[in-house]
Amino acid sequence: MTARAAVWSTALAMVLVAPCWAGQASIEGELKTWHKVTLSWEGPQASETGDPNPFADYRLTVTFTHPETGTTLVVPGYFAADG
Q: What is the pLDDT of residues 70-83, one digit of tens each?
A: 999 999 988 777 64
**Which domain range does residue 69 map to?**
3-76
| Entry pTM | 0.53
Asked whether residue 81 is assigned to any structural domain, the reply reads no
Tally of domains in the chain: 1
User: Residue 41: which of 17, 65, 62 has the closest Cα?
Assistant: 62
pLDDT bin (cut points 50, 70, 90) of residue 3 is low
Asked whether residue 82 is assigned to any structural domain, the reply reads no
Asked whether residue 50 is assigned to any structural domain, the reply reads yes
Q: How many CA atoms lie within 13 A of 3 on its CB side?
A: 4
> Quick one: pLDDT at residue 57?
85
Instruction: Give the model confidence (pLDDT) of 15-49 as tens digits.
Output: 544 444 456 888 899 989 899 988 888 877 888 88
